[in-house]
Amino acid sequence: MNNKNKDMTWLKLDNAALIYPATINRKIATMFRFTVTLIDEVDMELLQKALDNIMKRFPTFNYALKEGFFWFYLDLIKDSPKIGQDYQNPLVRINWKDNKNYMFRVRVHHNRIAVEYFHALTDGTGGLTFILTLVGEYIKLKYNINYKYNNLVLNPNDEVLDEEIEDSFLRYAKKSGKMDKEKRAYHIKGIEENANIINIITGKVSISKLKKICTKYNASITEFLTSLILESLEEISKKEINCNKPIKVSVPVNLRKIFNSSTMRNFSSYVNVGIKVDKNGHSFEEIIFEVKRQIKEMTTKKKMTEKISANVNLAKNLLIRIIPLFIKKRIMSLVENRVGDGYVTTTLSNIGLVKLPKEMEQYITDINFILGKSKGKSGSISAVGYQDTLYITFSRKIKEAELERLFFTKLVKMGLEVEIESNR
Amino acid sequence: MYCKNCGVKLDLSLTKCPLCGEKVKNNNSYNSLYSLDIDYLAKDISIMYFAKLIILILFLSTIVTIVCNLAIDKRISWSFYVIFSFLFIASHYFYLSTSKRKVCFIVNTFSLELLLFIIAYLNKGLNWYLYLVGPFILMGSIFILFINFISKFKNILRNISYFLLFVAIILILINGLISLYMVNKFILNWSYYSLISLVVVASILFGLSFNKKCMTEVEKRLFI
């Protein structure tokens, strides 16, 4: 079936995206951001041209979020997005009107190109593919080079596949699903900053050196980082009196790697990895053993199918469908506060190593990935690897940087050199 | 530059360690990674939010008025005006909360009618309301709805002829209602002249509207 035959003037939200619009408030919308730093100052006009060139390759990015009577939907925008300047405090809630109703925005500061996405539009993989395709097109226009396209840098002139605009959740969901029962998790307390402010700290670590340490523990980088975060969180929670809630880190899972899909819309889930707090504390080896076991157990294809099926079936439930949106979104917002953010202490989203065509790599010095604020959590952690550097970014809405300090000093004590960048 | 507490290497743009707050001397205070400009949350206040706020404030002040009234007079007397004025303003919330403008318009017309009726009733001026104010507001709103309705048809000449006929009917009603109020009888006098002239013009235009050549000429000059 060719997508040209379909009515594309409006779309339904994909299953994972349903929750995000409902949880928006005046101050916070679930957002994330990718940045790519180039060797030269960015030419805004050329970048605008590159953006115009690639928009037709990403048809699902051309939609605005609208409210129907029962559900939110995506409405086609007959306009083109404009590039703006970047700010010290990124990821401030998108104001739809100022942004021509687009759910993403492209911003530039000197050598750095940033794209910020509202999560209902796409997930990390979709967002990364979009910014890299944009940067690829820009480099092609500016330096007049040719390179071989790959799965992250798409050819803007290629035909859009049906698969890229589909809601893959619907394809892989089965009739019955099951959600795991969970307990409320520990939350870091702190003094909340002004609504505009987000504190960002990025630590740059050598991947090859980090891998050597990981092999010592026989763990992957994600497992190692999760364990180190849990260890730091345990130290913080111990200072509180009578803290008996478990510490949990939510680790997003890219479902494209488990199921066969190349959609540009949301297709990710998560697993909540955690430890119970006890008086004696855990050794790092104990934590890493527990993390490895839990991740292995929860990321099986069977478990993931159960999880997405439960979500899809919930959205298909007639009783839920007939509730008008203005009531439904309040319920969803309450549920998300309790279930989504309530069950986890923080999030660690590791997008993995970014592999670019060699001709492109010489023009790109850094790639970074930052998660925005959320209502219930004090902060989030994200990681992305490029060449030999792993960029571990902590974003938080509170003043205290205790978790960051513990985490990075632990890395330093393990013998790694950590280079710190910050927006404050 | 390294932080002596944490042991981490600090970017050249940093003047203090973001982890522990330790100050460091950096020659290069220029931050090439993040802009100095600060982004702000949505600059325009949401209209709905503002409307809710105003309604809440008015609601509270209405309650205060009722309490004062009860304390002074031991019954609700003059605060009736405040209560109904508040209800009238609150009914405008429909305008903002739905995109169905026509429904809002009708709701607002009736709430205005109700407000004026209550004022007239409390002042024992029902005569003045029933013959003049009430019907006039109703006619005005129907007139606006009618224009909205005929504007959907494309034939301009026919629209004008409908419009003129409607004006003629309204003039008759105005004439009759005024006489009803003055002498308690439905008498028509001056509206005959307007009726005849308007009907004549309207029927000529209606006839011309079937002439295609004439229509294109008119459309060329009168399109909106």
- Point out the domain boundary residue: A102, A127, A156: A156
State which residue of chain A sits closest to B8, comparing Cα positions. A418
3-class DSSP assignment, residue A254: strand
> Number of A:B CB contacts under 8 A?
100
**Same structural domain, B181 and B197:** yes
A322 CB-near residues (< 8 Å, 6+ apart): A70
> pLDDT category, A1, cuts 50, 70, 90?
very low
Section A54-63 average pLDDT = 94
Contact of B99 with chain A, judged by CB distance below 8 Å, is answered with no
Considering only CB atoms, B9 lies closest to which of A87, A112, A417, namely A417
Considering only CB atoms, A420 lies closest to which of B8, B34, B39, namely B8
Rounded to 5 degrees, φ, ψ at A383 are -145, 145
Contact of A116 with chain B, judged by CB distance below 8 Å, is answered with no
The pLDDT value recorded for residue A2 is 44
The pLDDT value recorded for residue B29 is 57
**Same structural domain, A110 and A22:** yes
Q: Where is mean pLDDT largest: A21-25, A401-405, B148-152?
A: A401-405
**DSSP secondary structure string, A64-96?**
EEEE-SSSEEEEE--S---EEE--SS--PPP-T
> pLDDT category, A407, cuts 50, 70, 90?
very high
Considering only CB atoms, B33 lies closest to which of A97, A412, A421, namely A421
* Chain B residues within 8 A of A418 when measuring between CB atoms: 7-9
Cβ separation of B34 and A88 shorter than 8 Å? yes
**Same structural domain, B56 and B112:** yes
The answer to whether position B14 is within a domain reads: yes
A126 CB-near residues (< 8 Å, 6+ apart): A263, A264, A265, A266
* Chain B residues within 8 A of A423 when measuring between CB atoms: 31, 33-34
Residue B160 Cα distances to A303, B141, B146, B154, angstroms: 70, 19, 12, 11
* Chain A residues within 8 A of B14 when measuring between CB atoms: 420-422
The answer to whether position B37 is within a domain reads: no
Q: Which two tokens stand for residue A409?
A: 């000093």
**DSSP secondary structure string, A181-215?**
P---------PBPPTT--EEEEEEEEHHHHHHHHH
Q: Which of B3, B26, B39 is the best substitution to test chain A (most A C-beta atoms within 10 A)? A: B39
Considering only CB atoms, B38 lies closest to which of A89, A200, A417, namely A89
State which residue of chain A sits closest to B10, comparing Cα positions. A420
CATH of the domain at A108: 3.30.559.10
- Point out the domain boundary residue: B65, B93, B124: B124
- Point out the domain boundary residue: A156, A181, A214: A156
CATH of the domain at A231: 3.30.559.30
Cβ separation of B42 and A420 shorter than 8 Å? no
Contact of A424 with chain B, judged by CB distance below 8 Å, is answered with yes
**Same structural domain, B139 and B208:** yes
Q: How many CB atoms lie within 10 A of CB A366?
A: 19
Q: What is the mean pLDDT of chain A?
A: 91
Q: Which two tokens stand for residue A217?
A: 């523990």
**Number of compact structural domains in chain B:** 3
The pLDDT value recorded for residue B28 is 63
The answer to whether residue A118 scores a pLDDT higher than 90 is: yes
The answer to whether residue B200 scores a pLDDT higher than 90 is: yes
Q: Which of B9, B16, B35 is the best substitution to test chain A (most A C-beta atoms within 10 A)? A: B35
**Same structural domain, B130 and B207:** yes
- Classify the phi-psi angles of A110: left when phi > 0, otherwise alpha if psi is within -120 to 50, otherwise beta: left
Residue A256 DSSP label: G
Q: Hey, CA dihedral for A103, A106, A109, A112, is it positive or negative?
A: positive
Range of the domain at B23: 1-31
Q: How many CB atoms lie within 10 A of CB A165?
A: 18
User: For the packed helices B134-150 and B156-183, what is the interaxial angle rounded to 10 degrees?
Assistant: 170
A75 CB-near residues (< 8 Å, 6+ apart): A9, A10, A63, A64, A65, A66, A101
The answer to whether residue A4 scores a pLDDT higher than 60 is: no
Residue A327 Cα distances to A24, A131, A321, angstroms: 14, 36, 11
* Chain B residues within 8 A of A85 when measuring between CB atoms: 35, 37
Percent of chain A with pLDDT over 70: 98
Considering only CB atoms, A201 lies closest to which of B18, B36, B43, namely B18
What span, in angstroms and rounded, lies between the C-alpha atoms of A285 and B42? 47
Contact of A373 with chain B, judged by CB distance below 8 Å, is answered with no
State which residue of chain A sits closest to B98, comparing Cα positions. A69
- Name which of A162, A244, A196 is nearest A92 in CA terms: A196
> pLDDT category, A31, cuts 50, 70, 90?
very high
The answer to whether position A171 is within a domain reads: no
Q: Which two tokens stand for residue B23?
A: 């100050």
The pLDDT value recorded for residue A215 is 95
ipTM of the complex: 0.84
**Number of compact structural domains in chain A:** 2
The answer to whether residue A131 scores a pLDDT higher than 90 is: yes
More confident residue, A95 or B27: A95
Cβ separation of B49 and A27 shorter than 8 Å? no
Residue A340 DSSP label: I
What span, in angstroms and rounded, lies between the C-alpha atoms of B140 and B147? 11
- Point out the domain boundary residue: A156, A189, A210: A156
The answer to whether position A382 is within a domain reads: yes
Section A316-331 average pLDDT = 88
Helix residue ranges per DSSP H, B41-190: 47-73, 79-91, 93-97, 101-122, 126-128, 134-150, 156-183
State which residue of chain A sits closest to B20, comparing Cα positions. A405
3-class DSSP assignment, residue A374: coil
Q: Which two tokens stand for residue A71?
A: 């559900």
**Same structural domain, A206 and A144:** no
Contact of A83 with chain B, judged by CB distance below 8 Å, is answered with no
Contact of A101 with chain B, judged by CB distance below 8 Å, is answered with no
Q: How many CB atoms lie within 10 A of CB A277?
A: 18
**Same structural domain, A75 and A209:** no
Range of the domain at A217: 199-422
The pLDDT value recorded for residue B219 is 65
**Same structural domain, A78 and A215:** no
Residue A134 Cα distances to A27, A55, A275, A389, B185, angstroms: 29, 9, 41, 22, 79
The pLDDT value recorded for residue B223 is 53
> pLDDT category, A147, cuts 50, 70, 90?
very high
The answer to whether position B40 is within a domain reads: no
Cβ separation of B19 and A421 shorter than 8 Å? no
> pLDDT category, B44, cuts 50, 70, 90?
low
pLDDT tens digits for B127-137?
888 888 889 99
**Same structural domain, B110 and B134:** no
Cβ separation of A88 and B17 shorter than 8 Å? no
HSE at residue B220, side-chain half, CA atoms within 13 A, is 6
More confident residue, A330 or B44: A330
The answer to whether residue A46 scores a pLDDT higher than 90 is: yes
Cβ separation of B36 and A88 shorter than 8 Å? yes
**Same structural domain, A294 and A347:** yes
Section A61-84 average pLDDT = 90
Chain B closest CA to A135's CA: distance in Å?
A: 17
More confident residue, A5 or A319: A319
Contact of A408 with chain B, judged by CB distance below 8 Å, is answered with yes
One-letter amino acid of B188: L
Q: Which of A67-76, A178-187, B43-52 has the lowest mean pLDDT?
A: B43-52
Chain B closest CA to A387's CA: distance in Å?
A: 19
